[in-house]
A = this chain, B = another copy of it.
Amino acid sequence: MTPSTKPPKIRAILFDFMGTCLNWHASLLPHLPPLPSHPSYPPSLASKIQSDFLLQWRQSYFNTNTLRISHNLPVENIDLTHLSTLETLLLTPAYSSWSPSFTPPIKDSLIQAWHHQIPWPDVLPTLKSLSEEENYELFVHANGSTRLQLDLVKAAGLKGVFEMLFSSQLVGVYKPERESYEWVLRVLGLQPEECVMVAAHTSDLKGARQVGMRTVYVRRWTDDIHDNQEVIRRENDAYLENMRDLEKVIREL
């Protein structure tokens, strides 16, 4: 059999969702309250403060999950985790003058904004094309609740693309716990080498490699901001700047 007629090895493509497929940063930004007026803030600094605030909020969400895993705490509703991490962030001195602008309705709107995100521009064409291929089954495998994922699929125009959504609420443990990947393999009835995990988070891919899945890293400036990209580049089967070449990369795995 020549290489071109070999059946593709990959049968299931598991996507991390927020960050990897969705631009949470651009989606949240319009929901932030205005910064307190301050004569020394040029507009560019104001944007940077708002952007940094979101990046810190996102990081503290990840930190909380890691802490919950290390303390063997059960999976928490992501809306509650987002609220508690927001409240904590607003208590830090850096945000003391901005904090009063976060009224209860603003905070509600920010929590709900996580349910309605826009995809990165390369995502829709790639995922729709992949989902039309007979050989592949596409899944979301991401932390969060099923309601969050259902809302995000609708908001991002991804209806009909995924066969199933595997949330940490369904799985019962967070990624990157080994049990999360093993649960998905059991439920899909597939071998690890038939699955590829696609994520903008090195920790997600580390977990996938531990059970023998293939891995594709997609670089997004909003995520893994403190990680060494050169190390990540070496560790995975592929390292992409966006998803435009994803189909080709997966076919060659």
Contact = CB atoms under 8 A, between A and B. Distances in A.
A189 interface: yes
A177 to B, nearest CB: 18
A160 B157 CA distance: 12
Interface of A: 131, 137, 145-147, 150, 153, 159-161, 163-165, 169-170, 187-189
A187 B131 CA distance: 25
B159 A189 contact: no
Given A146-B164, A146-B187, A159-B163, 13 more contacts: A131-B160, A137-B150, A146-B188, A146-B189, A147-B189, A150-B164, A150-B188, A159-B160, A160-B160, A160-B161, A164-B164, A164-B165, A170-B170
Contacts of A187: 145-147, 169-170
A131 B159 CA distance: 10
Nearest to A147: B189
Contacts of A147: 187-189
B146 A153 contact: no
Contacts of A169: 187
Contacts of A164: 146, 150, 164-165
Contact of A153 (B163, B165, B170, B189): B163
A62 B97 CA distance: 64
B188 A163 contact: no
Contacts of A161: 160
Contacts of A163: 150, 153, 159, 165
23 contacts: A145-B187, A145-B189, A146-B164, A146-B187, A146-B188, A146-B189, A147-B187, A147-B188, A147-B189, A150-B163, A150-B164, A150-B188, A153-B163, A159-B160, A159-B163, A160-B160, A160-B161, A163-B165, A164-B164, A164-B165, A169-B187, A170-B170, A170-B187
Nearest to A171: B170
Contacts of A150: 137, 163-164, 188
Contacts of A137: 150
A187 B170 CA distance: 8
Nearest to A169: B187
Contacts of A153: 163
A145 B165 CA distance: 15
Contacts of A145: 187, 189
A121 B165 CA distance: 28
